[in-house]
Amino acid sequence: MTMAKGLLAIASLFLLAMLALWWMRPAPVEEEATRLSVMGILAGEADLTGFARVEAPRAFEFPADHGPHPEYRHEWWYVTGNVKTAQGRHFGYQVTFFRFTLNPEPPARRSLWASNQLYMAHFAVTDTEGEEFHHFERFSRAALDLAGAQAEPFRVWLDDWALYGAPDRETLRVEAAQDGIGLTLRLRSRKPLVLQGDRGYSRKGPEAGNASHYYSFTRLATEGELRLGDAVFEVAGDSWLDREWGSSALGEDQVGWDWFSLQLDDGRELMFFHLRRADGSIDPLSHGVLVEVDGRSRALRYGEVEAEPLEYWSSPLGDGTRYPLRWRMRVPAEGLELELIPRLHDQELRGAFRYWEGALRVEGSANGEPVSGQGYMELTGY
């Protein structure tokens, strides 16, 4: 081969490579447009034409339902937990994967980057002793293995953040790391899966379709490694996994929710959420669940749980946002008198969707006997 022919061959290969990259190029996605799209979806502002709706209970199918439901507009895999070192140093953590269908029709573009599925992930660590809250956010389209979810074998991921394993065989792993903060944890269910609401049908708003299919693993034995910079901690404790999917949630006059997941040291778990209206009242559709030591559960309806805020905290962003962080909770039928106390005040996630989500401890009594515990709280719409 002459020098001229060699250079021509190299130039031809280079041109083919450039054409291939152009053919596979992603459509322009502006960061602010992506953020606004996600905020609109979470707030229930997007057009629902063409999406499946949650309008009644349905039979769950596992392992299929551990995986994605792209016919619905959104869903999430939500893991929170409280862990400690052998010396008693406490950490809270959250690893959450959100899936959004931006358009019910797949894109027509002939590109490996083309997708109508957007993934958002949140990763947070509460360092109670260090009085620090670390939180991170990522976005990606479900293309070229950048992000996605599958049922068999179960896996949901965004870049190198992942939740995977076999929920029905009681083994899961969760991994996430960024900017020197990381964790690798093994989760094993201590109790059977719990269907929330009416057989897994969790109604949120009065309008048809303002609901989700919702189930939980309420106590997952947790052990593994947590990293803060150069420090590595062996930790153990308990986690909670929530799974929801649907196409809309809040009604027109609803502005947000206060969600609590509690693990009591008497072996029971309690979940309850307030749905708040624009006028400050609590919607009667608010509900929850109480899980007994043996795994049996019963729904908690509006009026069965009393939750009163005791202390407020203002966001350091200085825009007037105030969160109710310390609560008194009563479940009279169960003899429960509880106080919910945040591990840190500032556990606010300031990303595309701003909300407070953090670890808390529980103090109180059950039928006159002392009881304590731990949990997580989520506050939105403030």
List pLDDT tens digits, range 347-376: 999 998 899 999 999 999 999 999 999 999
For 172-182, write each residue's pLDDT tens digit: 999 999 999 99
pLDDT exceeds 90 at position 184: yes
B/e letters for 223-254, b = 16+ CB within 10 Å, e = fewer, are ebebebeeeebebebbbbbbbbbbbbbbbeeb
Q: What domains can you pick out in the chain, each with its CATH number?
A: 29-379 (2.40.370.10)
Contact between 281 and 274 under an 8 Å Cβ cutoff? The reply is no
Please indicate whether residue 11 or residue 174 has the higher confidence score (pLDDT). Answer: 174
Q: Among 117, 94, 113, 125, which Cα is nearest to 37's?
A: 117
Q: Give pLDDT, residue 169.
A: 61
pLDDT exceeds 90 at position 253: no
Overall average pLDDT of the 214-218 stretch: 96
The band of 81, judged by pLDDT with boundaries at 50, 70 and 90, is: very high
Overall average pLDDT of the 322-332 stretch: 97
The band of 33, judged by pLDDT with boundaries at 50, 70 and 90, is: very low
The band of 207, judged by pLDDT with boundaries at 50, 70 and 90, is: confident
H helices of the chain, where? 3-23, 31-42
> Which of the residue ranges 29-38, 229-238, 299-308 would you say has the lowest mean pLDDT?
29-38
Overall average pLDDT of the 271-283 stretch: 93
Q: Give pLDDT, residue 41.
A: 52
For 85-134, write each residue's pLDDT tens digit: 999 999 999 999 999 998 877 767 677 887 888 999 999 999 999 999 99
pLDDT exceeds 90 at position 261: yes
Q: Rounded to whole angstroms, how far apart are CA atoms 152 and 160?
A: 19
> Which of the residue ranges 33-37, 281-285, 342-346 would you say has the lowest mean pLDDT?
33-37
